[in-house]
Structure 1
Amino acid sequence: MSEPKPLPFIYQFASGAIAGVSEILVMYPLDVVKTRQQLATTSDYNGTIRCLKKIVAEEGVSRLYKGISAPILMEAPKRAIKFAANDEWGKFYRKAFDIPVMTQSLAILTGATAGATESFVVVPFELVKIQLQDKTSKFNGMGEVVKHIVKTGGPLGLYKGLESTMWRHVSWNAGYFGLIHQVRTLMPKPKTSTEKTLIDLTCGTIGGTFGTMLNTPFDVVKSRIQAGSTKYKWTLPSIATVAKEEGMGALYKGFVPKVLRLGPGGGILLVVFTTCMDFFRSIQKD
């Protein structure tokens, strides 16, 4: 199957930004539930529906969207970097290894490298989001969180949790883009735009689900590190601590809302991204 014509970075960036904001507007409440479950050391927030009801009953519907300003500001550069870096690293590796078309192993390597690149952009936004989503948070908005972090830890304090964020994004992107490539090779070539959309939605959902299965343990400890606990500092020792004290199942806290978001969310991302890229290609032709 021939690969689509590559576009300049600015088109990839814009397509990724539009895709990211579209996904966050639809799926954000599930991210709040996921964070609550990951931070909880008791069974108070077990069950996705139960957790949603508990938050709404005790804190109001608006709480499901608290902290969304940080992700909205983050999603444009985050998703733009995700897809643009994946495309650019793909070009680099194909040239470096003299491979004319993408292979699955190259897709995994490219995705992992794009994930590492993306991590440097998203850490400050993730840190602010986690501290706003925590039930014990006393902050009312992004500005208060940033001011507190810089005051207590300096500008570099905004990069707390960088190492765990890299583990999270490298594993998710490697699984996401690697599986998308594999699933696409098994799919029939689309004959209509509707078929193409359905294939993209299927590939993206499967890739998002698999990426979530890989990276949830890293996401659990990242949330705890960024929430401010002094008990968790580095990723692998923190994973061992959680498993020892709470059992292996605790490493998958928040998995259901996370996979409900990032499975279909991965499909939404891919559909919107490829639709935007096709639109930009049509403009270039004209």
Structure 2
Amino acid sequence: MSQDQSLPFIYTFAAAPILMEAPKRATKFAANDEWGKFYRKAFGAEKMNQSLSILTGASAGATESFVVVPFELVKIRLQDKASAGKYTGMIDVVSKTIKNEGVLAMYNGLESTMWRHILWNAGYFGCIFQVKELLPKAETKRGEIMNGLISGSIGGTVGTIVNTPMDVVKSRIQNSPKVAGQTPKYNWAWGACATVMKEEGFGALYKGFLPKVLRLGPGGGILLVVFTSVMDFFRSMKQV
């Protein structure tokens, strides 16, 4: 395959994660905000604390997973070497999956995806709250940005540490097509974790951890700063 031919090929496989990012991030923060209001009212708390931040983040993660699962399934099946040759692109994955496995197959791996996002968001938002409490109060816009980068990066790193095993088994579950009368080897999250540890050792649950944490650690800081800046911009526009 020539270099010119390889570029469309690469972007074909990148389409699913690219299309997923906007609704995923929007759902994450919108759900976190709404769950925060709900839990503050439910527990009679005037403002957030770390326990509520963890609970709110976990609930936002569960909500976010419903948006993410179909995109993740398409991405996993296109990226996996064993199955990539079966499909020509995103639409082909969706079409063949529904035709061969049924509409609900687009939500294969929902349980493991929920655990992945529950753990990441709980770690992310819980750490953001605690780290911001420990950092000196920002007196300038630059200081607010730095605090956001630091707290978000630490939150992204902790979230990645606690959720990587679920990310590993989620990929295996979603890449296991359902066959009538057969129970997939990787069927549900915690059982899949046990299978991986038994057959490959505990370290196998952290395959790909380094590139993931290098992306999601700093990415968590950038994400928080961008979200905060965008929300500040819209608030200022609303007041005009």
Tell whether the structures are fold-level matches, with TM greater than 0.5.
yes
Gaps of 5+ in 1: 1-56
Please give the alpha-carbon distance, in whole angstroms, between the structure 2 residues aligned to 1:224 and 1:178.
28
In the alignment, what sits opposite 2:127?
179
The amino acid of 2:134's aligned partner reads L
Give runs of aligned pairs for residues 212-251 of structure 1, distance below 5 A. Answer: 212-228=160-176, 230-251=184-205
Task: Return the match for 2:92 from 140, 144, 162.
Answer: 144
Task: Return the match for 2:102 from 144, 154, 162.
Answer: 154
In the alignment, what sits opposite 1:94?
40
The amino acid of 2:158's aligned partner reads F
In the alignment, what sits opposite 2:114?
166
Please give the alpha-carbon distance, in whole angstroms, between the structure 1 residues aligned to 2:231 and 2:197.
43
Q: Are the aligned partners of 2:113 and 2:170 in contact in 1 as well (CA < 8 Å)?
A: yes
Please give the alpha-carbon distance, in whole angstroms, between the structure 2 residues aligned to 1:66 and 1:233.
28
Please give the alpha-carbon distance, in whole angstroms, between the structure 1 residues aligned to 2:150 and 2:212.
18
Please give the alpha-carbon distance, in whole angstroms, between the structure 2 residues aligned to 1:210 and 1:281.
30
Q: CA RMSD in A?
A: 1.7
Aligned-pair distance for 1:168?
A: 0.3
Residue 261 of structure 1 pairs with residue 228 of structure 2: no
Please give the alpha-carbon distance, in whole angstroms, between the structure 2 residues aligned to 1:177 and 1:233.
29
Please give the alpha-carbon distance, in whole angstroms, between the structure 1 residues aligned to 2:127 and 2:54.
8
Aligned-pair distance for 1:281?
A: 1.1
Cα shift readout 1:35-75 (whole Å, capped 9, x = no counterpart): xxxxxxxxxxxxxxxxxxxxxx9x96776655221122211
The amino acid of 1:241's aligned partner reads T
Please give the alpha-carbon distance, in whole angstroms, between the structure 2 residues aligned to 1:203 and 1:212.
14
Aligned-pair distance for 1:133?
A: 1.2
Gaps of 5+ in 2: 178-183
Structure 1's 61 and 69: CA in aligned 2 closer, same or farther, altered over 3 A?
closer
Please give the alpha-carbon distance, in whole angstroms, between the structure 2 residues aligned to 1:219 and 1:65.
23
Aligned-pair distance for 1:140?
A: 2.3
Aligned-pair distance for 1:191?
A: 1.7
Count of residue pairs brought into register by the alignment:
229
Q: Are the aligned partners of 2:119 and 2:159 in contact in 1 as well (CA < 8 Å)?
A: yes
The amino acid of 1:198's aligned partner reads M
Secondary structure of 1:92's counterpart equals helix
Higher relative contact order (CA 8 A, sep 6+): 1
The amino acid of 1:256's aligned partner reads L
Secondary structure of 2:116's counterpart equals helix
Please give the alpha-carbon distance, in whole angstroms, between the structure 1 residues aligned to 2:9 and 2:38.
43
In the alignment, what sits opposite 2:181?
none
Aligned-pair distance for 1:135?
A: 2.1
Cα shift readout 1:145-194 (whole Å, capped 9, x = no counterpart): 00011001111110000010011000000000000000000111212212
| Percentage of matched positions with identical amino acids | 65
Please give the alpha-carbon distance, in whole angstroms, between the structure 1 residues aligned to 2:201 and 2:22.
36
Secondary structure of 2:13's counterpart equals coil
Q: Are the aligned partners of 2:57 and 2:126 in contact in 1 as well (CA < 8 Å)?
A: yes
Give runs of aligned pairs for residues 185-200 of structure 1, distance below 5 A. Answer: 185-200=133-148
Please give the alpha-carbon distance, in whole angstroms, between the structure 2 residues aligned to 1:108 and 1:283.
31
In the alignment, what sits opposite 1:115?
61
